[in-house]
Structure 1
Amino acid sequence: MSTTPASGHDLSLALEKVVRLVREVSTAGDVSPTAAAVLAGLARTGPQRVTELARVAGVSQPAMTQLVNRLTRQGMLARVADDADRRAVLVEVTDAGREVLAARRRQRAGVLDGALARVSAEDRAAIAAALPALDRLAEVVLES
């Protein structure tokens, strides 16, 4: 095993491959990656305003409104009153949206289980050992 410290460049390259893998195998629920990210974000953080969803997703407010309207018609999102500001409307994920997320996670897990079965026991152990550190790294980046 290499004792060379990880570089941001090397980590970035590896994570780009992992992100591509996750996107390519995440087709359950027939939703776009942006829609899936919105569903996951709402499931993680709770109800949000459309403007905040647009900011986080890096899309325009009108584009997010269209996406929210589509996901609402499909039953994956619902609009609810904002208790803090009765003039505002929040968007929340529904049980149907949570099921789409769960199906996508099950699909990814199945693909990754199959891939893990094809790599060496040493690589599986290294991947398992790296997971807590990767999780902490993600927390550090997402908190800033």
Structure 2
Amino acid sequence: MAESEEDIGGVAEAIRQAALLAMRHLLNREELSVSAMEVLHTLSVEGPTRITTLSEAIHVSQPAMTQLIQRLGRRNLVARVTDPEDGRATVVNLTQSARDLLHRLRNEDNEKLAAMLATLSASDQEALRLAMHVAGPIIRRLNDSAARLAQATTGPGMQSTEGEQ
């Protein structure tokens, strides 16, 4: 394996380890499934969104997304409202309860991370701070690229059929 391939492999493994850290220690699965968190996060970033758009973004079938939205609606986390651009259609929007929940979960995640980071030496903490200062924007661009690539390769009606876990 060429040195650059080994470097890319090392970067890929570091990203996988970071994802594993987030999955194991930051996602509150007892409160919300991964799919539910993805929907709430998407709505918090994108604003009111149609179910078809959400199902494409989260890579679940439209029926699975409809069921998830119904469950989130029963928990008063989302509400369907008339689409301001097309009065015949509806969009899904976050409720204040969802915004409050996301804020609380973000704070809890930050507390968990702070406790984990406190176990590192001061020099490791500084090295990680510097690395994330550089890597953070790159990871955001990777997420954006992955979303665009997934949307380009997964047309409407071709989504995964995975539902809420």
Coarse TM-score class (shorter-chain normalised)? 0.7 to 0.9
| 2:22 alignment partner in structure 1 | 22
SS of the counterpart of 1:30? coil
**Is this contact kept in 2: 1:35–1:67, CA < 8 A?**
yes
Alpha-carbon shift at residue 28 of structure 1 (Å)? 7.3
**Cα deviation code 1:76-119 (max 9, x no counterpart):** 00111111111111001111111221222122111111111111
Higher RCO, 1 vs 2 (CA within 8 Å, ≥6 residues apart): 2
Aligned to 2:152: none
Change (3 A) 1:31 1:114: same
The question of whether the paired residues in 2 share the 8 Å contact of 1:22 and 1:108 is answered with no
Assess if the C-alpha contact under 8 Å between 1:47 and 1:93 holds in 2.
yes
Which amino acid letter does the alignment assign opposite residue 13 of structure 1? E
- Which aligned pairs between 1:49-88 and structure 2 lie closer than 5 A? 49-88=50-89
Distance in 2 (CA, whole Å) between partners of 1:23 and 1:99 is 22
Partner residue, 2:10: 10
1:32-87 deviations in Å (ceiling 9; x for gaps):
01101110111011111001111111110000000001001100001111111111
What stretches of structure 1 of length at least 5 have no aligned partner? none
Q: In structure 2, what is the equivalent of residue 124 of structure 1?
A: 125
Paired residue for 2:110?
109
Q: Which moved more, 1:25-34 or 1:66-75?
A: 25-34
Contact preservation (8 Å) 1:76, 1:97:
yes
In the alignment, structure 2 segments of 5+ residues that lack a partner are 146-165
* Alignment match, 1:41: 42
* AA partner of residue 96 (structure 2): D
Q: Alpha carbons of 1:11 and 1:90: their partners in 2 closer, same or farther (altered >3 Å)?
A: same
* Count of matched residue pairs: 140
> Would the aligned equivalents of 1:49 and 1:91 in 2 still touch at CA under 8 Å?
yes
Contact kept? 1:28, 1:103, Cα under 8 Å: no
Query: Aligned with 1:91: secondary structure?
Result: strand
Distance 1:103 1:8, change over 3 A: farther
* Contact 1:75-1:96 at 8 Å conserved across structures: yes
Secondary structure at the counterpart of residue 90 of structure 1: strand
Percent identity of the aligned residues?
Answer: 32
